[in-house]
Structure 1
Amino acid sequence: MLRTLLIVALGGGVGSALRYAVSKFVQDSTNGAFPYHTFAVNIVGCLLIGLFYGLAARGHLGNNTTTLLLTTGLCGGFTTFSTFCNENIALLRGDNAFVALLYIASSMFCGLLAVALGYLIIDIIASGR
């Protein structure tokens, strides 16, 4: 159990550092009320988790430890639901209800689409199409 916790913590640390770097890059490249930086991180994270679970389902990630490192650890540290929720509260408190609703709806739609795309990419690669 301790070994598993350390593996997840390692992935989470790397994911958190990557989240900061990607978020900072996107934030410095965009402006406006819409939180593009968190949106981008969460959608990329959804794509990655779809890819990783797609690979794991085919036995291409090795063992369960690698899957935990990449999904629970890396993706868990990379994506950020708490920031997403806090940004929506800030938008609502700042009288940006339309932007908050747009952010919620687009995050859900694009997130689900990205996970499905990740699985589809692995299906295509695995089938050799």
Structure 2
Amino acid sequence: MNDRTPAAGAHRPPVSSAPPAVPVAGARTLRRSALWAGLLFLPATASVWIAAVATERGGRCLTYGACGDVPGPLFQATLVVAGAAWLAALTTPGGAPPSRARWAALWTLFAAELSFLSLVLGHYTG
């Protein structure tokens, strides 16, 4: 018997007629953008905080507590919205084009992060 021919009782794996799933470029772009937006959020927050504290008002705020008044729930709300939008954008399935809701989640993520950064800047310089 030849090494290339299977034995008479050998089991052959079933052949699938479905084409392999090819990742859609739009889904990959959406996930990559969301991943980078989420990963760069912490360094952006640190940079904005350092820039705000480096000003005269920011130094007084840090030293004497004469900061602008921003309620804590507003900070928390922007972080919760950003986190939910980040998860929605990251969990985009790769086999189909992303829906409008997934793209909206990415833009909501950007808006929530920018709102949070603006609140941090306003808190220390306002």
Higher-helix-fraction structure: 1
Q: TM-score scaled by structure 2? A: 0.33
Q: TM-score scaled by structure 1? A: 0.33
Q: Is the radius of gyration larger for structure 1 or structure 2?
A: 2
